[in-house]
Amino acid sequence: MCGIIAYKGNRNANEVIIKGLKRLEYRGYDSWGIGIKNHEIKITKKLGKIGAVSLKDLNLENANIGIGHTRWATHGSVTEENAHPHLSKDKKIAVVHNGIIENYQQLKKFLQQIGIEFKSETDTEVIPQYISYLIKQGKTFEQATKETLNKIEGSFAIVAIKQDENTMIGARRGSPLVLGTNENEFFLASDVPAFLEYTKDVVYLDDDEIVVINNNLKIFNLKDNTELKKPKELINWTLEQAQKENYPHYMLKEINEQKFTVKNAIEQPPELIQKVTKMIKESFGVFFVGCGTSYHACVSSSYTFAHITKKHVNAVLASEFRNYENFLTDQTLIIAVSQSGETADLLDAVKTAKRKNCKIVSICNVVGSTLTRLADENIMMNSGPEICVLSTKTYTAQLAVLLLLAYGSADRLDYAKEKIQQASVAIPKIIDNNLEKLKELAKKLKDHKSIFLLGRDLAYPSALEGALKIKEVSYIHAEGFAGGELKHGTIALIEKGTPVIVFITKWTKQLILSNATEVKSRGAYIVGTNAEENELYDFFIKTPELGNANPIVMIIPIQILAYYLAIERGCDPDKPRNLAKSVTVK
C-alpha cells in the first residue's frame, strides 16, 4: 500500500525520486522519505503528503543513486521515525519496503539479543539491520540481501542501497515492483507512472525475483539463485494520461473520461471474447470475485448474467472466498475483477482457486500486474492509469466488459455493443444536464451525518457503490441497501430531513416508488434518479433508462455528488484519509 521509487543513473536522483513520489502518492500518503547516496547515505523524512514540495525546499546535494518511499502505515504509528527509508545501525544500508513482514518479531528479537538497537516501531527495519549483520559475517551486499529476504515470511517489495557501493538491489514477493530501463539508467518503482516520464521500457518482476544493478543488471530467482532472462515490455500509456490535464482533481478528470473509457472497455480481440464466453458456457460453477468497488461490479453483473444468460453466477467478496473452497473443481471458472491487479485479498482468492485447478479469467486495468500473470486469460479494461484512489472510470469499464460477456454468452454481442455505445454517449449529457444541480445538492447535504441510497434489482449494487463513493471521499456515513430490506430495519433510521437517494428503473418502478413513499412518510428528503420526474421527489436527477446497461449510467451522478460533497467539506478528493489505491496487504 506504500509507494516505492528508486533511481541509478546520470540524472540527479533527487529530482527523479521527488517527481516519482508525487506520482505514487495515491498509494499512501501519511509520510514520505528519500535516501540518496554519495559518500554516505543522506536520509530526509517528512510527515504528511509530499504535495508541492520542491527540491529547493529540501536543499539536498545532488546524487546519482537514491531511493524514495511514500507510506501507508501498517506497522508503527505515523511518525518521522517510522517513515522510510530505514537504516542499519551503522547507517551503511538503507531500505524502502512495501508489504508486511509477518515474522519480523522473531528476526528483531534475534538481532536485539546480539546488541542491535532498533530506532522505529516498523517491521521494515529488520531488513537493513539483518543485511548489515550478515555483511559483518563476511557476506557481500548481494549475498546478505538475498539471504535476508529468504528469511522473511510475508510480503515485500524492497529496494536497498549501500554506502560504499554503487549497487542498487530490488526484490519482490507479493507486492508490486517494476523495473524501468534506459541507456545507462535504471528505475525501480511500485507502478509505471512513477517513471513514465523517462522511459516506456519496463520489466515486470515476478514473486521471489531479485534484481542487482551495479555496472550491469542481473535478475535472479531468489529461492534458487538461478539467473533469469526477463522480457522487456513497452508501455502504451502516455504521461499526459497520468496527469490531471486542466482538471482540479484526478477524480473529476476520471469521471469525465468515462465517455471514452466505457467504449474502450469493449474494444476487445473478438477471439478473446469468444474464448471467454465459451469458458463461461462450458464451466460448472462461475464465481465473480473482487473487493470494494470491483466487488460491486461483480454483484451488479451477477444480476445481468441472471437476466441475459439465465446462468447462475456467484458474486463473492475476495476476502470471504475461502468459504467456497469446497465448491471449487477443475470445471469451475473464476472471473477475478480488479483495477490494480495487486489487491492482496483477490490474489489470495485466485491462488486458492488455482490450487483447485479452476480456470482464471481476469478483468484488469494494469498490464503486467500480478493478477494478469496468475490468470489463464486477461481482459484488459483499457481505461488508462487511474490515479484517484476512488475507482470511477474503472468501475463503469468493469460493468461494460461484464455486460459484453453476458450478452456474448447469449450470442447477442452486437446488441451489447449497441447498448454500451448508448451508455457512453449518454454520459457527457448526464454530466452536463446535472452538474450545477449536483453542486447545489452537495451544498444541501454536506452537513448531514448519514445519507441512504436504495435500489432494487440492478439498482441495488448501484446503491452499494454510490454509498461507497460518498463514504470514501466525503467521510459522511452512507448506506446502500436493497429497497425490499427497508421495512426489515433500516427504516428505523429515517427521520425528518434524512436524505434518501432512490434509484428507479423501468423494471422496479412501482416497488421502489412505494419504498420512497414509506421513507417520505417518515420525513425523508427524497433524491430521485430516474428518466422521469415524480412528485415524490424533493430533488430530481435525470438519468436515461438503458435496461441492463443502467448501472453504467446510474452511478455517474453519484460519483459527481460524492466529488462535490468532498469539495464542500474541504476533503481531498484524490487522496482520502486512511485509504490507498491498491490494498496490497490482507
Nearer to ligand AGP, 16 or 403 (CB): 403
| Structural contact between residues 511 and 456, judged by C-beta atoms closer than 8 angstroms | yes
CB of 343: closest distance to ligand AGP in angstroms? 3
Angstrom distance (rounded) from CA 6 to CA 3: 10
Residue of minimal CB distance from ligand AGP?
A: 292
Q: With respect to ligand AGP, which residue has the nearer C-beta, 132 or 369? A: 369
Q: How far is the CB of 295 from ligand AGP (least distance, A)?
A: 7
Question: Which is closer to ligand AGP, CB of 294 or CB of 332?
Answer: 294
d(CA 416, CA 407): 6
The helix (run of H) or strand (run of E) holding residue 251 is helix 250-256
Nearer to ligand AGP, 169 or 291 (CB): 291
Q: Give least dist CB 559 to ligand AGP, A.
A: 10
CA distance 43 to 456: 55
Smallest distance from the beta carbon of 403 to ligand AGP, in angstroms? 18
Q: Would you tell me how many other CB atoms lie within 10 Å of the CB of residue 497?
A: 11
Q: Exactly one of 2, 291, 298, 571 is catalytic; which is it?
A: 2
Say which of 37, 253, 581, 586 is annotated catalytic: 581
193 Cβ neighbours under 8 A, 6+ residues apart: 23, 24, 237, 239, 242, 385, 387
**Closest CB to ligand AGP among 30 and 472?**
472
Where does residue 91 fall: left (phi above 0), alpha (psi -120 to 50 degrees), or beta otherwise? Answer: left
Q: How far is the CB of 396 from ligand AGP (least distance, A)?
A: 12
> Is 8 a residue of the active site?
no
Instruction: HSE, CB side, 13 Å, CA atoms: give it for residue 60.
Output: 28
Give the Cα separation of 34 and 486 in Å (integer). 52
Cell of 151: 528469511
**Which strand ranges, in their side-by-side order, compose the sheet holding 3-8?**
41-47, 31-37, 65-71, 3-8, 185-189, 178-182, 201-204, 233-234
- Alpha carbon distance 542, 432 (integer Å): 11
Q: Is 2 among the residues known to form the active site?
A: yes
CB of 567 to ligand AGP, least distance (A): 17
3 state SS of 468:
helix
User: 144 or 251, CB closer to ligand AGP?
Assistant: 251
Residue (87 or 291) nearer to ligand AGP, CB = 291
Contact residues for ligand AGP, defined by CB under 6 A: 291-294, 338-340, 343, 346, 389-391, 472, 582-583
Q: Which of 2, 23, 380 is nearest to 198 (CA)?
A: 23
Q: Give the position of cell 477471439.
A: 271
Rounded Cα distance between 175 and 449, Å, is 37
Phi-psi bin for 417: left (phi > 0), alpha (psi -120 to 50), beta? Answer: alpha
Quote the least distance from Cβ 294 to ligand AGP, whole Å.
Answer: 4
Least CB distance from residue 581 to ligand AGP, whole Å?
6
Nearer to ligand AGP, 94 or 560 (CB): 560
Count of beta carbons in the 10 Å neighbourhood of residue 395 = 29
- Cα angle 509, 510, 511 (rounded to 5 degrees) comes to 95
The pairing of beta strand 41-47 with beta strand 31-37 = antiparallel
Closest separation between CB of residue 39 and ligand AGP, Å?
A: 42
Neighbours of 413 (CB within 10 A): 18
Nearer to ligand AGP, 1 or 116 (CB): 1
Give catalytic residues, as residue numbers.
2, 581
